[in-house]
Amino acid sequence: MTVLDGKRPNIVAYICSRERPSDAQSAKIRDFIARENGAEVSVVWEEHREIGDGFRIEFGEDGRRDKVYDWTLAGKSRKLKADISTALKGRRNVMPLIRQAVGGWEPEPVADEIGTVISVGDGIAVVDGLGSAGYGEILLFDSGIRGMALDLREDDIGCVLFGDSSEVKEGSTVLRSGRVAGMPVGEAYIGRTVNALGEPIDGKGSIAEEDWYPIESPAPAIIDRKPVSRPLETGLLAVDSMFPIGRGQRELIIGDRQTGKTALAVDTILNQKGRGVICIYAAIGQKGSSVAQLADVLAKRGAMDYTVIVSSTASEAATMQYITPYAACALGEYFMRRGKDVLIVYDDLSKHAVAYRALSLLLGRSPGREAYPGDVFYLHSRLLERSAQLADRLGGGSMTALPIVETQAGDVAAYIPTNIISITDGQLFLESDLFHSGQRPAVNIGLSVSRVGGAAQAPAMKKAAGSIRLDLAQYREIEVFTQFASDLDELTKRQLRYGHGLMQLLRQPQYHPYSRHAQVILLTAALDHAFEDAEPGEIAHLAAKLIAAAEAELPDICAAIDGSGTIADSDRKSISALARRCVSPAEPAE
């Protein structure tokens, strides 16, 4: 370091370059800084052999280096990249910018704040000197690592890192990017598997991005929404009949581990084939092998043609797991604001809350209940509130959320489950006892509810479902009561057979969602007691037989149910008559 003049001013400007500037150049730089800041300036030269062409000026009061003018090749590249990005967002022609750069274009000197790393460890860096940085802003470290400002304190900033923290050292230089964390978006993301930064991880090459969306954005206002009125069918008879989901709804899937939560969400994705719905699966803290297996399942069944997987595995830093659902939501908003319907699965928000708790404790925030920070409710409410059915003037797109939460020993009253239950529009509670008894999907009818989906249920489905939920509730009560009774009257036995038959009908193998007309046909037949006298083990076979017969003999009715979603009373009678012919054993010829 060489002092180029002997003054002791208010501001010290450090010239960082490979070669020492001449006296004339130093004087010119000193006069420029003094004129811009209205203070006396002293100039100091520092040798930086890593700088090729050009130089960088770092300066500030009292020896600080909180501002920079960058005339290095890297600085020129950053400025050109920023201008091109702005031009692309404005749909402007970028060729004049490129011609200007080739013809000797120089970037305008723009003052930037410079920060210094005070401490680093466990994926967290504490940075001093960036007093103007905002919450969620991306910070650039001199090693090339990016970070996000997550804790703004009076004297410093707590920053979470998006890369290997070993590459960041104490004393490292940090620059502001001037933009919050975001996600590149575009149609080319459909069919791909990416990480939380939008980078492809499926080995299929780069992805052409069309725009850039911040991962944190305000939820649509009330005036920008309209009521949920269109169904989003899961293809699962137990769900669509009793707990219908509408486009724009948020329906929680909750249950212990290994109860079929992910399987229910995957079946819902498979059922969107040919329905114009774009699906996004956000894998948060999942095993890499599980994500690869899910991608293979979706690809084999043609679902990757309309699906994006955004993944942060369990081996990745808590920072990546924290931003994954927000990044997936930003991608969903891109499609929603273009008038499309989106289904987004968050698997699962329990691991997301754990990742945020780890970050908060490392940042030094005060722990609360179960060691979670005080804003853990806001963590998920600001995410799930972004799902909506937009008004027609905004394109009429929708984003339906299926967040998944894991419980411990069926405790739905724990901290995170109760938070998300209060945020969502209903929940599907999957019960371990039902799952292990072979009832799959293992939906607990008493604890599950859909608060807004009923208004979106197709009329044919609503008419066919009838009193199935009440009938099953009565069956559960009688079943519990009969455990203590030895002698049952014929009416009670009949109710037990009927209820048991309904439960058998609701059993559905994985990866085999029902079409709408198949669900209506089965429900119409079941509530007409067509399966009451059938052996429980034969009901699945009889159901398949009935669907095949209806598609062959009643194609007009099936088409009407799938198309308009309506069914006439005469059509219901035709279905009931067909069901009794299919279910009743053929009488021997005389």
Cα three-residue angle 203-148-71, rounded to 5 degrees:
90
Q: Does some domain include residue 385?
A: yes
State residue 91's pLDDT score: 47
Q: What is the DSSP string of 149-184?
A: EEEE-SS-EEEEESS-GGG--TT-EEEEEEEE-EEE
Residue 468 has pLDDT above 60, yes or no: yes
Average pLDDT over residues 573-577: 92
Same domain assignment for residues 209 and 286: yes
139/177 Cα distance (integer angstroms): 6
Q: Does some domain include residue 588?
A: no
Give the structural domain span for 476.
463-583
Residues 452, 247: contact at Cβ < 8 Å? no
190-225 pLDDT tens trace:
999 999 999 999 999 999 999 999 999 999 999 999
550/577 Cα distance (integer angstroms): 11
**Would you place residue 8 in the very low, low, confident or very high pLDDT band (cuts 50, 70, 90)?**
very low
**Would you place residue 588 in the very low, low, confident or very high pLDDT band (cuts 50, 70, 90)?**
very low
Q: Does some domain include residue 81?
A: no
343/368 Cα distance (integer angstroms): 33
Q: Does some domain include residue 101?
A: no
Q: Which residue, among 139, 142, 164, has the nearest Cα to 150 in the 3D structure?
A: 139
580/573 Cα distance (integer angstroms): 11
Report strand pairing: 277-286 vs 182-185. Answer: unpaired
Q: Does some domain include residue 87?
A: no
Same domain assignment for residues 309 and 430: yes
516-537 pLDDT tens trace:
999 999 999 999 988 888 888 8
Same domain assignment for residues 396 and 478: no
Same domain assignment for residues 402 and 530: no
Note if the bond before 107 is cis, omega within 30 degrees: no
420/406 Cα distance (integer angstroms): 11
State residue 343's pLDDT score: 98
Same domain assignment for residues 37 and 139: no
Average pLDDT over residues 285-306: 95
473/475 Cα distance (integer angstroms): 5
Same domain assignment for residues 143 and 257: no
State residue 387's pLDDT score: 97
Instruction: Compare 176 and 244 and report the one with higher pLDDT.
Output: 244
* CATH number, residue 411: 3.40.50.300
Residues 60, 66: contact at Cβ < 8 Å? yes
Kindly list the catalytic residues. 451
Same domain assignment for residues 322 and 348: yes
Residue 418 has pLDDT above 90, yes or no: yes
Q: Does some domain include residue 589?
A: no
Per the structure, the count of domains in the chain is: 4
Same domain assignment for residues 173 and 317: no
Mean pLDDT of all residues in the chain?
Answer: 87
Average pLDDT over residues 344-348: 95
Sign, CA dihedral 284-288-290-292, equals positive
Same domain assignment for residues 519 and 412: no
Average pLDDT over residues 381-400: 96
99-132 pLDDT tens trace:
554 455 444 444 567 889 999 988 899 999 888 8
Same domain assignment for residues 227 and 313: yes
> Final residue of a domain: which of 456, 487, 503?
456
> Final residue of a domain: which of 432, 456, 480?
456
Residues 520, 464: contact at Cβ < 8 Å? yes
236/234 Cα distance (integer angstroms): 5
Q: Does some domain include residue 85?
A: no
State residue 20's pLDDT score: 84
Same domain assignment for residues 174 and 209: no
Q: Does some domain include residue 7?
A: yes
Same domain assignment for residues 335 and 356: yes
Q: Where are the alpha helices (DSSP H) in 38-153?
A: 73-89, 95-102
* CATH number, residue 563: 1.20.150.20
